[in-house]
């Protein structure tokens, strides 16, 4: 049946709301961290993709989180996505979320509290009746600041059915317009989704007036399957992330859910507002920002997703692509024409290519730096591919606001020679130089970075892969650093592997600086918020 929602008006019976939490739950992935400029860029890409609700962050978590949510809230008109801020049930959390999303043309406060016996006993140390009171008070307070309020039952799939019904009823009575039952620990199977949501829709008074939502984690690899099952059970909103990033094993992958709904419309006849042709660009942008590529065999966006090596498969695809492809590569943004530009290409053509690759509007200074690097690359490579262009501009465009920048590097090495690296960094606009030796050229380079910008970290991963084929291919290096249990990944690309390694380390270092600014939110004190 049709539902009237404060942010979406009257929803058609077959319309599914796409709620994206890449900027909130996704950023909690180990090693993933974004500064405010990266979050804004990702927010714009998500809006262009067509998500309906964007969970921009957890405002009370840190001043940086609050600022990023507030800046994103200022970004979009009424035609853009709903901007959502997460909050626990304490008044301080809810007021922080309310203030952060206040500038948004369309805003939402998302409040949550644990409802499972295990979480209430161990995490909250509260009795069920006290938790029930928190549900009412928190939703009522949120409703004083926006008509669009979502309430979530943390660990909802392990909550006792009767108590879950009571909590949902209390949230609805207090004014919640969306009810989310998260599979917080990835414990559920599809049958659980159908049972839980069918029960709530049948038993809870007022259930026909609200939107039910599913937020599934992937600990058992069932997040997408559980999300599709929830839709079949009447859920009208699904919560997901680009590339499936998120806590532990991640969340339901937005691209997989959306393409499953598009491909199997016969089995699940619903629609959504995502422009699927933008999926790959958004996926690649996130990989660039986080410094974490998707695995090659990742559904939809992995580089092998539409590759065919078996002779039998190749023969079938050549005769009719539908023999082995259930969707077209173009439907998610893949293109067979990746050969681009040359050393004689001009600035206008380069700008157009960047727009085609999903980089949007680029400032003149960033464009000039990226174009200079492109020209240098074109002089060194016989042919330049889309992948090359994307890799080289990331340092200048996506990471243009980094606090630490690599501005110079010279390495002396050879057989029987102790490698030595001399480099220059720019740290908050100030030049710093470093010279060091090492066990190899890369080790010497990293030691020189540490000398120029002193810090103590553990190098957990150093990996090299080629962006394209050939001996003149750019190397893409991934570096993982650890400081006090916090992990960050950085990436860098260049035809010189040592330069790429330095770029990757500096990228990771910038992420570490951003992560240092993130603090744990104030301890939740339920007695003060009841």
Label each residue of 204-216 as H, E or C.
CCCHHHCEEEEEE
Q: Which residue has the higher pLDDT, 318 or 217?
A: 217
* pLDDT tens-digit readout, 30-46: 767 788 888 998 999 99
> What confidence score (pLDDT) does residue 93 get?
97
Quote the CA–CA distance of 444 and 435 in Å, as a whole number.
8
Q: 530: pLDDT confidence band, cut at 50, 70 and 90?
A: very low
Instruction: Give the model's confidence band at 316: pLDDT under 50 very low, under 70 low, under 90 confident, else very high.
Output: low
Q: Residue 49 above 80 pLDDT?
A: yes
Collect all residues with Cβ–Cβ distance below 8 Å to 254 and sequence separation of at least 6.
18, 20, 22, 51, 240, 241, 242, 244, 274, 279
Q: Is the pLDDT reported for residue 411 higher than 90?
A: yes
- Count other Cβ atoms within 10 Å, centred on residue 12: 12
* pLDDT tens-digit readout, 100-131: 999 999 999 999 999 999 999 999 999 999 99
Report residue 8 as tokens: 């979406």
Q: Is the pLDDT of residue 137 over 80?
A: yes
Query: In degrees, to the nearest 5, what angle opens at C-alpha 215 toward C-alphas 212 and 216?
Result: 135
25-38 as b/e: b if 16+ CB within 10 A: bbbbbebbbbbbbb
pTM of the model: 0.84
Q: Which long-range contacts (CB under 8 A, 24 or more apart) does 325-333 make?
A: 326/263, 327/259, 327/262, 327/263, 329/305, 330/277, 331/259, 331/262, 331/276, 331/277, 332/255, 332/259, 332/276, 332/277, 332/279, 332/280, 332/300, 332/301, 333/276, 333/277, 333/278, 333/279, 333/280, 333/281
Mean pLDDT of the residues in the chain: 89
Mean pLDDT over 416-445 rounds to 95
Binding site feature residues for Mn(2+) = 25, 215, 217, 251
pLDDT tens for each residue of 250-262: 999 999 999 999 9
- Write out the two tokens for 423: 């480099």
Give the model's pLDDT for residue 321: 66
Residue 20 vs residues 27, 45, 214, 242: alpha-carbon distances, Å: 12, 12, 12, 8
Q: What is the pLDDT of residue 95?
A: 97
Which DSSP symbol is given to 13?
T
d(CA 479, CA 450): 14
Averaged over 235-239, what is the pLDDT? 98
CA triplet 8, 22, 229: central angle to 5 degrees?
65
Rounded Cα distance, 416 and 199, in Å: 73
Lowest mean pLDDT among 228-242, 327-341, 386-400, 459-473: 386-400
**Strands (DSSP E) along 355-505, which ranges?**
384-385, 404-414, 417-427, 430-437, 458-466, 475-483, 486-494
- Helix/strand/coil for 50: coil
Q: What is the pLDDT of residue 225?
A: 98
> The tokens of 393 are what?
């501009």
Please determine, for residue 179, whether its predicted confidence score (pLDDT) is greater than 80.
yes
> Which residues fall within 8 angstroms of residue 440, CB to CB, at 6 or more apart?
413, 419
For the CA atoms of 134, 136, 139, 140, the dihedral, rounded to the nearest 10 degrees, stands at -120
Polymer length of the chain: 530
Structure confidence at residue 428 (pLDDT): 92
**Distance separating alpha carbons of residues 114 and 124, to the nearest angstrom:** 8
- In the chain, the percentage of residues whose pLDDT exceeds 70 is 90
| pLDDT at position 317 | 46
Determine the pLDDT at residue 511.
Answer: 85
The pLDDT tens digits for 355-381 are: 777 676 677 777 788 888 888 888 877
Task: Spell 442-475 as b/e; 16+ CB within 10 A means b.
Answer: bbbbbbbbbbbbeeebeeeeeeeeebbeeeebbb
3-state secondary structure of 60: helix
Residues 62-94: pLDDT tens digits? 888 999 999 999 999 999 999 999 999 999 999
Q: Between β-strands 211-216 and 237-240, what pairing exists: parallel, antiparallel or unpaired?
A: parallel
Indicate whether 8 pLDDT > 50.
Answer: yes
Mean pLDDT of 299-321: 65
Instruction: Please give the backbone phi and psi of residue 89, each rounded to the nearest 5 degrees, phi first.
Output: -85, -5
pLDDT at 292 over 60: yes
Residue with tokens 């919640």: 176
Q: What mean pLDDT do residues 260-275 have?
A: 97
Is the model's pLDDT at 524 over the cut of 60? no
Distance between CA atoms of residues 131 and 119, nearest Å? 11
pLDDT tens digits for range 453-462 = 999 999 999 9
Lowest-pLDDT range of 50-64, 170-184, 469-483: 469-483
- Could you tell me the pLDDT band of residue 387, with boundaries at 50, 70 and 90? confident
Least confident of 145-149, 511-515, 525-529: 525-529
Residue 313 pLDDT level (bands cut at 50, 70, 90): very low
Task: Rank 58-62, 200-204, 378-382, 525-529 by mean pLDDT and report only the highest.
Answer: 200-204
| Residue set of the binding site | 25, 215, 217, 251
């Amino acid at each position: 049946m049709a539902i009237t929602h404060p942010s979406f008006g009257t929803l058609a019976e077959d319309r599914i709301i796409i709620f994206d939490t890449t900027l909130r739950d996704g950023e909690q992935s180990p090693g993933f961290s974004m500064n405010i400029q990266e979050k804004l860029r990702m927010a714009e890409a998500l809006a262009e993709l067509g998500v309906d609700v964007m969970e921009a962050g957890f405002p009370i978590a840190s001043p940086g989180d609050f600022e990023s949510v507030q800046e994103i809230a200022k970004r979009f008109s009424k035609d853009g996505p709903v901007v959502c801020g997460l909050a626990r049930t304490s008044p301080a959390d809810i007021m922080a979320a309310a203030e952060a999303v206040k500038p948004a043309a369309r805003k939402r406060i998302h409040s949550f509290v644990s409802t499972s016996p295990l979480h209430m006993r161990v995490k909250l140390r509260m009795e069920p009746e006290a938790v029930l009171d928190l549900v009412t008070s928190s939703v009522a307070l949120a409703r004083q600041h926006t008509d669009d309020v979502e309430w979530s039952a943390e660990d909802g799939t392990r909550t006792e059915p009767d108590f879950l019904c009571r909590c949902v009823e209390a949230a609805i009575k207090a004014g919640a317009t969306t009810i989310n039952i998260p599979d917080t620990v990835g414990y559920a199977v599809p049958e659980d989704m159908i049972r839980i949501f069918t029960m709530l829709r049948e038993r809870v008074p007022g259930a026909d007036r609200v939107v039910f939502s599913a937020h599934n984690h992937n600990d058992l690899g069932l997040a997408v399957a559980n999300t599709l099952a929830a839709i079949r059970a009447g859920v009208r909103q699904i919560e997901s992330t680009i590339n499936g990033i998120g806590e532990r094993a991640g969340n339901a992958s937005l691209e997989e859910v959306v393409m499953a709904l598009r491909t199997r419309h016969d089995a699940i006849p619903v629609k959504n507002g995502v422009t699927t042709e933008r999926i790959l660009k958004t996926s690649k942008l996130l990989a660039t920002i986080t410094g974490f590529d998707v695995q090659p065999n990742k559904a939809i966006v992995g580089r092998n997703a539409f590759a065919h090596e078996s002779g039998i498969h190749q023969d079938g695809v050549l005769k009719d692509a539908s023999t082995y492809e259930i969707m077209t590569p173009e439907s998610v943004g893949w293109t067979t024409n990746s050969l681009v530009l040359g050393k004689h290409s001009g600035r206008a053509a380069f700008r157009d290519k960047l727009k085609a690759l999903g980089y949007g509007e680029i400032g003149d200074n960033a464009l000039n730096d990226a174009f200079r690097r492109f020209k240098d690359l074109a002089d060194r490579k016989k042919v330049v591919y889309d992948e090359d262009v994307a890799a080289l501009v990331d340092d200048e465009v996506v990471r243009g606001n980094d606090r630490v920048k690599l501005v110079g590097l010279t390495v002396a090495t050879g057989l029987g020679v102790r490698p030595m690296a001399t480099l220059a960094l720019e740290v908050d606009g100030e030049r710093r130089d470093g010279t060091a030796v090492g066990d190899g050229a890369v080790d010497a380079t990293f030691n020189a970075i540490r000398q120029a910008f002193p810090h103590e970290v553990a190098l957990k991963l150093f990996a090299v892969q080629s962006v394209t084929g050939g001996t003149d291919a750019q190397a893409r290096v991934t570096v993982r650093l650890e400081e006090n249990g916090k992990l960050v990944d950085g990436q860098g690309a260049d035809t010189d592997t040592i330069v790429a390694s330095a770029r990757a380390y500096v990228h990771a270092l910038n992420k570490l600086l951003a992560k240092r600014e993130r603090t744990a939110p104030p301890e939740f004190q339920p007695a003060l918020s009841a």
